[in-house]
Chains A and B, each alone.
Chain A
Amino acid sequence: MTPDRAGVDTEPFFLGSGADRRFCLFHRPAGTCRGAVLYVPPFAEELNRTRRMAALGARRLAAHGYGVLQIDLLGTGDSAGDFADARWDLWKQDLDTGAAWLRARLDAPLTLWGLRLGALLALDHARTTSVPLAPMLLWQPVAAGSTYLTQFLRLRTANAMLGEDAAAQSGTKALRAALQAGETLEIAGYDLTPALALAIDALPAPDAMMPPVPVHWFEVLGAPGQAPGPAAARVKAAWEAHGTPLHVHAVTGAPFWATTGISTCPTLLDATVGAIEERAHVV
């Protein structure tokens, strides 16, 4: 056991029952509680690929005194429902449920910690929640919902080409039209409904999703000296014009949300703890 995990205790449980059953993992804070963190997971197969990094991050934060709740959203992970039942707004309700559970146990401001599309879900949630928030942590946020949807649709086009399934070989434009016409598409084993797809497609760009608290935005770059993508700079300019600070942290490591095998990015874990600790000292 490394010192970073000393005293961390993880409890898996189901919150609710029947169709409301949501799988949760609670990482109890080691020592005096310094804050509560709600983890907002990424989309579809990215959730699976990043599970190890999410666990490592949650334990690191717990070892530093933060109580962390990971929640599987409706129709994902071990939670009840099929992926086809998932809706963007129901996912936001799940975050409300998770936040309420945390507030009942820990008397501390809530940090939303989102990964990839989960970063956009966290930003969208932060705009409407009545829960008092602490600065947010966003790991490798997707640049825009519509771009992300296009990339997801491309998985189907690529699979169709590999599988020589001529009938399924259509571009993302045709797939979007099918969604518009009310068709559910099976993509990489997931049933993507028009309701969920079009909600993601219609998300405002992060520039326009200004959160009520400062944000730490982390980007993982393949080599030292690379510059973060243009999205971070654009968002920073937009938010800071309205007085919301955005701290961009660039680290070097593997793109763990996209790799075929499980990969981890220790520098991201260090930077995350660094950012949250710095905040604790300032406060």
Chain B
Amino acid sequence: MSYDERALAFRCGGAALVGIASVPAGECSRGVLVVVGGPQYRVGSHRQFALLARHLAENGIAAMRFDYRGMGDSDGEERDFEAIQDDIRAALDAFIEAVPGLTDVVLWGLCDGASAAAMYAPGDARVRGLVLLNPWVRTDDGVARTTLKHHYRDRLRSPEFWRKLARGQFDYAGSLTSMLKLVRTAFAGRPADQGAAASLPERMHHGLHVFTGHTLLVIGGADLTGREFCDVAGSSPAWKRLVATPRVSWRRIEDADHTFSRRAWRDQVAEWTREWVASL
């Protein structure tokens, strides 16, 4: 099937944003909006998002990619994935305006773009599905636990540590302070439902729980971020219930890294996306 590509300029909060829509010839009611994550702009590492959009458009599914404010070609101050909800809405508006007849949209995101998409989805009835690749759920307490587990345990076993201690060269005060800080962060306990702001995994859970559409999770087995997500998804009865519902599907490529940086992995992800989006 042939397709056309259109360069889109649209606005969000006074800034000029840039996006590209890949639009199949003929009627098209379903679209995929790519929400870019991490340090990537709308083309993606090794052009993953550009190639994905073309693959989808060749198969009758419209696709749009865009740069949120402060990223890539778009204007505005730099911001992180927690502050791009308005950008996603503006892009969705521009996508639907550019492709008349579009009624269903799937948000597709990698890394923290996946997290932003999951938190956005329940608030917009136009979103029918989510494709989330190696979603980002890292928290300070997660990092603190990992650091305590590996760093301090290793130090206590290190002969150099005990030699320093014996020579009186060990900075007790500094080390104790930083270790206590980590202990406090790691074991601070989960914030209550009301009151303290919810952690990122909690907000992700909330977004996916409230969202009534379907979700496809794609994990690269060799990616730390993907593994962390799997840990979180197995960490509590609530998460286990959520990811076991028929609304949620899983795919995994055992050797794949964070950005699916081989053609075989990238093409597999594109093909899974096409199949899954077409099956909705």
Contact = CB atoms under 8 A, between A and B. Distances in A.
B263 A51 contact: no
A44 B47 CA distance: 9
Interface string A20-64: 010101000000000000000000110111011001000100000
A70 B43 CA distance: 15
Interface stretch (B67-75, B157-165, B208-216): B67-75
Interface of B: 5-9, 14, 16, 18, 20, 38-48, 50-51, 70-75, 78, 222, 255, 257, 259, 261-263, 266
Contacts, number: 85
Nearest to A11: B9
Interface residues of A, number: 35
A14 B5 contact: yes
Q: Is the interface of B mostly helix, strand, loop or mixed?
A: loop
A79 to B, nearest CB: 9
A10 B46 contact: no
A101 interface: no
B46 A262 contact: no
A12 B41 CA distance: 15
A48 B41 contact: yes
Given A48-B41, A77-B47, A261-B38, 4 more contacts: A45-B46, A51-B41, A82-B51, A262-B39
B72 A51 contact: yes
A181 interface: no
Contacts of B259: 189
B5 A21 contact: yes
Q: When A and B form their complex, which 3 residue pairs have the shortest distance between CB atoms, in order from nearest? A: A189-B46, A12-B7, A189-B261
11 contacts: A12-B9, A14-B6, A48-B43, A49-B39, A52-B72, A52-B78, A55-B72, A55-B75, A159-B261, A186-B262, A189-B45
Most A Cβ at <10 Å: residue of B50, B51, B266: B50
A52 to B, nearest CB: 7
B73 to A, nearest CB: 5
